[in-house]
Amino acid sequence: MGSGLTVILMTLAAYRLARFLVHDTFPPIAWLRDKFTEPYEWPVDDPRRVTRVPYWFAYLWTCMWCMTVWTSTGVTVLVWLTLGLPAPLLVWGGVAAGAALVSHLEDFFTRPDDEE
């Protein structure tokens, strides 16, 4: 398989994994996401705020662009260890940018017409 096709497949895999973690309603993932993002739902200074995880971690879990960086890291490391990559840090940056771009394009093409 060519290296260009490998990077495209890595980008799509990183995007899909990020979307799975941030948006999908698969029960085990939704439960885990709710547990990790619960403090993010409440104001930071609210006394009822649960402090299981730091505020910044909950934010990173709900940010699609942030999550694409983490999922592209995992995908790049996995492919690097199994297939080998000539420049894994450069490939990682490209995969992260590509996955974030795919996320942005999905938001653009699926938004309602009245938001224009």
Q: Percent of the chain at pLDDT above 90? A: 42
Amino acid 41: pLDDT:
52
Half-sphere exposure (Cβ direction) of 72: Cα atoms closer than 13 Å? 29
Tens of pLDDT, residues 31-73? 888 777 765 555 556 555 555 667 777 788 888 899 999 999 9
Assess contact for 114 and 83: CB atoms under 8 A.
Answer: no
Assess contact for 17 and 10: CB atoms under 8 A.
Answer: no
Amino acid 38: pLDDT:
66
